[in-house]
Structures are given as structure tokens and as C-alpha cells.
Amino acid sequence: MIPQQEGELDFADERHFHLIDYRLGHSYAVVRGMPEPDEDDVDGDVPPRVIDFFFAGASRISLWKDFVDFHIRRPTDEERSVLEDRIGPLREDDGVYLLEAGTIETHIVASRVFWAEFDLHGGAPSPLAVEDPDYRAAHPPVGGVIRFAD
């Protein structure tokens, strides 16, 4: 099993982010950050370094198909209050994750978030969401650790 370590939110990333997977039954969402294509790798042989965020227990998703200015953080009390005024009350244990700098519009409400970097081509499934242990073993996280936050 890949080690997990509690991580700190409130960090930014310059990659381009996309919602790549969402499931109702298991209630999760996966957001992937992709770097700009490498012009030196014209054949596409070298997989880019991506960062995947797996939101477990996702109950609300509000984001564009793709976005930049990624900055994952928890809302301030004031931001959470404004968000609740707009979308309705949130349970005390609901995790609210803001995903874009300077706005509360881009957010996911979920119970927990996991993240890690992987060397994967853009269309590949996230090892954080795949149940196949062979696939996960073939695509370990960079640095060997999956981070999480509640």
C-alpha cells in the first residue's frame, strides 16, 4: 500500500486544471493539473508530470471545464458564510475546498481530498480513482506518498 501523509492546503500551481472524472455512486471527483505540452517531446513518449486531486464524498462541484490560477485552500469564515448564503447551508463537517485564486466560484464540497503527482499522459485514469491494484502499482506517485486533508 502506498503511504499517505496529511498535507497542508493553501498552495498554488501553474498547471492547467480540468475535471477529468466524476462518479455519483461512489461520490467522488478528480481534478487534474496538466503542464504545457513539452515541445521537445514531439512523439509524446515521455508522460508529463501531472497533479491529481481526488475529492472523496463529493456532494457539490462548481467549476468550469478547465481553469488556471489554481489555488487550493479552505474558505475563510466570511467566504463560507457568503457561499452558504448563495447555495444553502452546509453541514459543519462538510469540507469546502476553494480551487481558484481570488474567487469562491470554483469549489468542491467533499469529505476529504487526496493528491499526488504522477507521470501520466493526460487521458490516463487517475491512480487515485482506479481500483485496479496492478494499475496503481504501475503508476506510483512521484515521491512515493499520497497527501490528504480533511
Q: For the chain, what is the HEC assignment?
A: CCCEEECCCCEEECCEEEEEEEECCCCEEEEEEECCCCCCCCCCCCCCEEEEEEEECCCEEECCCEECCEEEECCCHHHHHHHHHHHCCCCCCCEEEEEECCCCCCEEEECEEEEEEEECCCCCCCCCCCCCHHHHHHCCCHHHCEEEEC
Tens of pLDDT, residue by residue over 12-47, are: 999 999 999 999 878 999 999 999 876 555 566 789
pTM for the model stands at 0.93
Tens of pLDDT, residue by residue over 69-118, are: 999 999 999 999 999 999 999 988 889 999 999 999 999 999 999 999 99
